[in-house]
Amino acid sequence: MKKFLVLLICICIVNGIYSEIVIYPVPNGLVYTRHNDDFTVQVRQNGGGWQDLFEYSVDVDNDNVQKVTMTQFDFSGTVEVKVRQNNGTLNQVHIRPSNLAIQYEIQGNSFTFKIEKPQKLSIETNGNTMNNLHLFANPLETIIPSENDPNVIYFGPGIHKPGDLPGDVFVIPSDKTVYLAGGAVLQGKILCNKVENVKICGRGIIDQAVRGVEITHSKNISIDGITVINPKHYSVYLGQSSNVSINNFKSFSFGSWTDGIDMMSCTDIDINDLFMRNSDDCIAIYAHRWNFYGNSKNISVKNSILWADVAHPINIGLHGNTKLEGDTIENISFKNIDILEQDEDDRNYQGTMSICSGDFNLVRNIMFDDVRVEDIQEGQLVNIRVVDNPKYSTGAGRSIENVSFKNISYNGYGVNPSVIEGYTQTNKVSNIVFENLRINGKLILNADSVNFCIGKFVDGLKFTK
């Protein structure tokens, strides 16, 4: 293991099982001001001594900015976590996503629980989701590049700034690995423009950059393991790029226009294992926008947790190209997704799963499979519309076709009526199928038994077992 990479490595061999915890050093410089003392978090293995984690303070919720706590570590085997609440008396604990059903034991103002595999968790005490703890238990890194490798751009523990480069940008050329070691903090965006074969990886953080990672007119790019906090714009900005993979990515934002991952005119995108808490869309998929042209297709998002303090957890379709015949957004899938929140007061931008076709876009072949939506503050379960939205578009969408919702559940009471509607007889919504939709455990077999508003120009809407 490289010098200064880890602050602590605990290695145990018990009953032939190899276990390891990796805790990274606290970033130096600025006497790092990101500590949050709301919680004290410790971890251990096999009954050993408790080891302290560093609790980061990150900002969330553009409507009413709040400071929440984030901490993370890497491990294999089984780890025991101990959390102490420091800002009041502990009465209640809720560990989400709820379907994980993680058991815990309370002792005074502390509680403990065990994790047997990598997890991304929101830990909420006394029902508080606005000053909660986010715990990221990462898998161990399997390959750590050498800082002496000429093809590696290596950022070790500490604060890193681009220096005199304009716009606070780390410009990355083709055929490079960019490694952010645990304890590294980059205060500038990583830019991949007109490049290929770039890997961005590690356990470091991009903090308060204009954007986190920007990938434009590029191909064969991967992002793995890093965290973006408090960007001034998107966490990951994808424009007219292809063959991009994003894995084990974490993001927090609180400002206006601080989407999580936005894709414009992109193809062949594979996204896995996210935790996104954003004050705009967590995931947005568009066609043409700004300097990016072309269709968007073959995009997969899976095994992820989405939390929209503002706007949509999932938003598809609004932007396209009205100067030509229009673009196509197709072959999009979301699988094994937990949606923890939507809090959006504007009815025009609600829908935890939203498809709004504008700008002559044809949106088709969209699948949502195994999506669990927890009780939300304000929003809609689904919003499927062909629209002409003059605020963001210059024309109506063409149509929405072939959308499958399979094994969708909502547990809660905070949703407004979902909306499904077309725009005209030729700009319509068709072939929307809900298979095994459950609301508070009840199987929904028709639109009359659920809180849905079905508007005009909708064909082929079905509810099935």
Residue 98 pLDDT > 60: yes
Report if residue 202 sits inside a domain.
Answer: no
Backbone dihedral angles phi then psi of residue 217, each to the nearest 5 degrees? 50, 45
Tell which residue, 377, 456, 455, has the closest CA to residue 416.
Answer: 377
In this prediction, residues 424-434 reach a mean pLDDT of: 98
Residue 32 pLDDT > 70: no
CATH code of the domain in which 101 resides: 2.60.350.10
- For residue range 73-87, list pLDDT tens digits in order: 999 999 999 999 999
Does the pTM exceed 0.85? yes
* Half-sphere CA count of 11, side-chain side, radius 13 A: 4
Q: What is the pLDDT of residue 165?
A: 55
122 and 249 housed in the same domain: no
- Point out the domain boundary residue: 93, 108, 139: 139
Q: What is the pLDDT of residue 75?
A: 98
Domain tally for the chain? Answer: 2
- For residue range 218-258, list pLDDT tens digits in order: 999 999 999 999 999 999 999 999 999 999 999 999 999 99
- For residue range 325-340, list pLDDT tens digits in order: 999 999 999 999 999 9
127 and 246 housed in the same domain: no
Q: What angle do CA 389, 60, 344 make, to 5 degrees?
A: 30
In this prediction, residues 25-49 reach a mean pLDDT of: 85
377 and 265 housed in the same domain: yes
- For residue range 276-308, list pLDDT tens digits in order: 999 999 999 999 999 999 999 999 999 999 999
User: CA-CA distance, 91 to 125, in Å (whole number)?
Assistant: 7
Place of tokens 């002559």: 360
Q: What is the pLDDT of residue 414?
A: 76
Residue 166 pLDDT > 70: no
Q: Which residues pair with 94 in a beta bridge?
A: 124
Residue 186 pLDDT > 50: yes
Residue spans of beta strands (DSSP E) within 211-282: 213-216, 219-224, 227-229, 236-239, 242-252, 261-264, 267-278
**Neighbouring residues of 101: CB distance < 8 A, sequence distance ≥ 6:** none
For residue 17, give Cα distances in angstroms to 13, 46, 76, 119, 147.
6, 11, 10, 20, 31
Can you read off the two tokens belonging to residue 46? 């096999």
| Domain coverage including residue 45 | 8-139
282 and 406 housed in the same domain: yes
* Lowest-pLDDT range of 5-9, 65-69, 245-249, 312-316: 5-9
Report if residue 114 sits inside a domain.
Answer: yes
Residue 3 pLDDT > 70: no
Report if residue 263 sits inside a domain.
Answer: yes
Residue spans of beta strands (DSSP E) within 313-428: 314-316, 328-342, 353-357, 362-373, 379-380, 382-386, 399-410, 415-416, 418-421
Question: What value does the mean pLDDT of the chain take?
Answer: 93
